[in-house]
Amino acid sequence: MQILKTEHLNIGYQNKKNIIIGKDINIEVNQPKLITLIGKNGVGKSTLLRTLAGVQYPLNGNVYLQNRTLYDYTNEALSKQISIVLTEKIPPSNLTVYEVLALSRQIYTNWIGSLTETDKNQINKALILCEITNLKEKKIDELSDGQFQKVMLARAIAQDTPIIILDEPTAHLDIINKIEIFHLLKKLSETEHKLIICSSHEIQLCLHYASEMWLMTKNGLITENKQTVLEKNLLTKIFNSDLIEFDPKTKQFIYK
């Protein structure tokens, strides 16, 4: 079953003239999995994720979701298909963690906005999966960076969509929190049958946890399984430098 597909997708920005960042991107995903998006800074990873999520319009081409063009969906219908965790911080507030997760259920709540048992169960499930039940009464502004990232992921889980898109979810986190986030993403893809697309600079964690890797370059998007990435040494081609090279045997970058 087709979950997500693009055809001849051009991404970028509209100004006085179109500024193309990525051209002729063709993707097809037919099963839940964890996909990591890799590439240099400024190559267009965030723009691609925002376009796939319907936050940003493409310059050309189409994005298909469940065999329907993304733009046939109403905002509410799309919110039941895709949840997103972008790099932008949410505005300062006195909301508790539980209240932030409850906001993700607005697309399901009845006309007076009260939470049903289904809503409460989904929120509690997200708290348990992300191991943050102890934080549910804590104010969102009182959280550490690691706690905040887990709450944002929990909010996406509480939204209960088949697709979760995340932009750099482990940025600024320590190694333990990075591993915990990746472990959870892998678990969600396997046990909750979610398609998860996640941009990251954590190459070793991507190689360990991801089912598939998308490598974004100035010349286009390469979509491969991890074994092919290693066999063709594609990471060295992407992060080409006189200072480092990638060793596919040890799966590490080596300083020259």
pLDDT, tens only, 75-126: 999 999 999 998 777 777 889 999 999 999 989 876 567 899 999 999 999 9
Of 197 and 235, the one with more pLDDT: 197
Rounded distance between C-alpha atoms, residue 133 and residue 126, angstroms: 9
pLDDT band at 249 (very low <50, low <70, confident <90, very high): confident
Of 219 and 228, the one with more pLDDT: 228
The predicted structure's pLDDT at residue 137: 96
Rounded distance between C-alpha atoms, residue 57 and residue 51, angstroms: 6
Q: What is the mean pLDDT of residues 37-66?
A: 94
In the three-class reduction of DSSP (H, G, I as helix; E, B as strand; rest coil), residue 156 is classed as helix
The predicted structure's pLDDT at residue 256: 75
Rounded distance between C-alpha atoms, residue 146 and residue 148, angstroms: 5
pLDDT band at 70 (very low <50, low <70, confident <90, very high): very high
pLDDT value at 178 more than 80? yes
* Mean pLDDT of the chain, nearest integer: 91
Q: What is the mean pLDDT of residues 1-16?
A: 89
Report the percentage of the chain scoring pLDDT > 90. 67
Rounded distance between C-alpha atoms, residue 59 and residue 251, angstroms: 36
Rounded distance between C-alpha atoms, residue 22 and residue 10, angstroms: 6
SS3 content of the chain, % helix, strand, coil (to 5): 35, 30, 35
- Judge contact between 30 and 2, C-beta under 8 A: yes
- Region of 91 on the Ramachandran plot (φ > 0 left; ψ -120 to 50 alpha; else beta): beta
Strands 4-14 and 60-65: antiparallel
The two counts, helices (H) then strands (E), for the chain are: 9, 12
- Judge contact between 94 and 137, C-beta under 8 A: no
The predicted structure's pLDDT at residue 167: 95
Please name which of 20, 23, 18 lies closest in space to residue 7, comparing C-alpha atoms: 23
pLDDT value at 51 more than 60? yes
Provide the residue type at 237 as one letter: K
CATH 3.40.50.720 fits domain 4-81+161-255: no
Query: First-to-last CA distance in the chain?
Result: 46
Provide the residue type at 250 as one letter: T
The predicted structure's pLDDT at residue 69: 94
Q: What is the edge-to-edge ordering of all strands in the sheet holding 4-14? A: 18-29, 4-14, 60-65, 68-69
Q: Where are the domains of the chain?
A: 4-81+161-255, 89-160
Rounded distance between C-alpha atoms, residue 2 and residue 55, angstroms: 21
The predicted structure's pLDDT at residue 158: 96
Of 120 and 252, the one with more pLDDT: 120
pLDDT band at 242 (very low <50, low <70, confident <90, very high): confident
- Residues 206-216: pLDDT tens digits? 999 999 999 99
The predicted structure's pLDDT at residue 112: 60
Q: What is the mean pLDDT of residues 54-64?
A: 94
pLDDT band at 5 (very low <50, low <70, confident <90, very high): very high
The predicted structure's pLDDT at residue 220: 85
The predicted structure's pLDDT at residue 89: 73
DSSP letters of 67-133?
Answer: TEEGGGS-HHHHHTTEEEE-SSPPPP---BHHHHHHHTTTTTS-TT----HHHHHHHHHHHHHTT-G
The predicted structure's pLDDT at residue 92: 72
